[in-house]
Chains A and B, each alone.
Chain A
Amino acid sequence: MNSSTTNIAPAHLAEVRVSFRTAGFAALAMFAILAALPLLTLVTGDAFVLVVATRIMIFALAALSLDLILGFGALVSFGHAAFVGIGAYAVAILNAYGVNDLLVQSLVAVAVAALFALVTGAISLRTRGVYFIMITLAFGQMLYFLMISLSAFGGDDGYTLPARSTVLGMPLLENNLVMFYTVLAVLVGAFLLARMLIASRFGRVLRGTRDNAVRMQAIGFSPSPYQLTAYVIAGSIAALAGVLLANQVEFVSPAYMSWQRSGELIVMVVLGGMGTLAGPIAGAAAFILLEEWLSSFSQHWKLGFGLILLLVVLFSKGGVGGLVKRLLGGAHHG
């Protein structure tokens, strides 16, 4: 009764569930392609590819962390961008006080995000269903409005960083290639960590709760502490994405944590295939490339994007999950 698992039909999840091993291979392939990408830019001399790929990986990191709670915890959190924002503002605010070290900024970002997740998660997890969605959304907006009103850090206009963060005093990240590989390393690290978590004792309890919370109580588990822990871990990883995002664009704005951003993260996870960890990475790539592509046609690209999203959900059997399953279907059945 006191579990906050939202009503995600088990069939929905079962359909999306791709085998753990298949997902691992898919991720390995994506990481290999990403690692080799700079070679391509050497040939073509076009650095733009590197910039887009870095951006994709940063959002992949955020989407991956959301998958931990959405895909494995069945918690439809609509405030995940807030954690990305916390990470970005940790960079901006520390920069304003003269602290530019990436490691210090990351530690602070993770600590603050974990604390925020702990407090808001504990309150949100007292509820379930539509309540949980609305409350996570509201807490995210709370932070958004806080940042808008903090004029010392640019308020609505955002905060321009004078330079990227330093690593042990060295301006390593100024080089786009170093930036690229740093982000890739963090993404791979987070992926491996998440896989380990999912396969652990803790992860099994989380997955069990997703599938059937009442069953878990009937064998002696109280789900909320596990869900809260997952919420905190996911928030912390998303904060790292925020630290990297701030560094890549050298600019921080409340828009990073707006609720539309949270919605986009959910779209990435679901489009890519939730509960797979590899799916959200593909989803982030698809989303950002689609955004780049559609926006090259018209400034009103969101109209097209919204239509695609709506039609897929409405007319694809089993919703987006069903479509993903069918697209993947041929490759691994049985």
Chain B
Amino acid sequence: MAETGALLSVRNLSKTYGALVVTDNVSLDIPERELHVIIGPNGAGKTTLIHQLSGRLPSNGGKVVFAGEDITRLPMHQRVRRGLARSFQITALLDGFTALENVAIAVQARSGSSFRFFAPVARDRKLNDEAMAVLARLGLEDRAHRRAGTLSHGEKRQLEIAVALATGARMLLLDEPLAGTSHEESAVLVELMRALKQTHTLILIEHDMDAVFSLADRISVLVYGKVIASGPPAEVRAHPEVRAAYLGDEQADKAPEAAAAGGGR
């Protein structure tokens, strides 16, 4: 179906609310093992795009092809089962569950039926071991038995990624994984994503320009729902339209604030 060998192929995707166009004819090709960052001023429609790719919101037009299969009309849970998982911008963990349970339930989703009514799941060795391995990969083992709601903000962001990983996805859509984190926390997360690049395909929405330019294989710039530029970091940085519309003449890492103040809604 997809003409390229891309893992995720988006063609002319759009989303409108009445007369308001939020996603405007977006086309993207993400090859396997690419870390693709989407940047853009506030209100550019980045989260909406992630919602459409993950199946949280239906699209008005266009096509999403994942691993050769048209998934445009599939609901979120079926996209996850096919290997396309996401995290949320505003942390959406199961706060009353422990960190381990948050991850184990994602493992459970892909291992066997959940219409099992009798054996206590908390003592399910296989689920717990796999979940623990994922937590270990993120350095969260010692937090395993704490309730997610009691973790620090940075730990919650890590746990978000752990849960997405635990679904067994090949591709992760991460919506602002660094939002609200401290300098130290964000350094940990950046290293984590750098490591994830070796095994997974990633789409990232991010405002932290240092992180964006150090991590990205390619960058797409979204303004008013339109992709105005897409390419390797150096190319995007030099793109005249991007400089005008988004980066301005200021320092790259100051750009989001400036854009939010001037280019917002």
Contact = CB atoms under 8 A, between A and B. Distances in A.
> Would A and B touch once assembled, by the CB under 8 A criterion?
yes
Interface string A193-223: 0001101111111011001101111111110
Contact of A200 (B56, B96, B121, B167): B121
A229 B117 CA distance: 11
B106 interface: yes
Contact of B75 (A14, A200, A212, A222): A222
Contact of B114 (A2, A13, A197, A226): A226
Given A199-B122, A204-B101, A211-B97, A219 B106 contact: yes
B80 to A, nearest CB: 4
Contacts of A218: 54, 56, 76-77, 80, 85-86, 88, 92, 164
B77 A222 contact: yes
B117 A219 contact: no
Contacts of A226: 114-115
A96 to B, nearest CB: 35
A14 B17 CA distance: 35
A214 B124 contact: no
Contacts of B56: 1, 214, 217-218
Interface size of A as a range: 20 to 34
B120 interface: yes
A220 B75 CA distance: 10
Contacts of A203: 117, 121
A13 B94 CA distance: 12
Nearest to B148: A211
Contacts of A189: none
B116 to A, nearest CB: 4
B8 to A, nearest CB: 17
A225 B76 CA distance: 15
B47 to A, nearest CB: 13
Contacts of A221: 77, 109, 114
Nearest to B166: A219
Given A14-B149, A200-B121, A202-B117, A220 B96 contact: no
Contact of B124 (A13, A201, A207, A212): A201
B95 interface: yes
A219 B164 CA distance: 7
Nearest to A211: B94
Nearest to B104: A204
A14 B95 contact: yes
Given A220-B77, A220-B110, A220-B167, A215 B94 contact: yes
Interface string B93-113: 111110001000110111001
A207 B76 CA distance: 19
A325 interface: no
B48 to A, nearest CB: 14
Given A200-B120, A202-B116, A208 B97 contact: yes
Contact of A219 (B120, B124, B149, B163): B163
A13 B149 CA distance: 13
Contact of B118 (A14, A200, A208): A200
Contacts of A229: 115
Interface string A159-202: 00000000000000000000000000000000000001101111
A221 B167 CA distance: 11
A260 B109 CA distance: 39
Contacts of A214: 56, 92
A215 B117 CA distance: 22
Nearest to A195: B120
B96 A17 contact: yes
7 contacts: A10-B95, A14-B95, A199-B121, A212-B94, A219-B163, A220-B85, A222-B75
Interface of B: 54, 56, 75-78, 80-81, 85-86, 88, 92-97, 101, 105-106, 108-110, 113-122, 124, 149, 163-164, 166-167
Given A220-B77, A225-B115, 17 more contacts: A14-B95, A17-B96, A201-B108, A205-B108, A207-B94, A211-B94, A211-B96, A211-B97, A215-B88, A217-B80, A218-B80, A218-B92, A219-B77, A219-B106, A219-B109, A219-B166, A220-B85
User: What 5 pairs between A and B have smallest CB-CB spacing?
Assistant: A220-B109, A220-B80, A219-B106, A217-B76, A199-B120
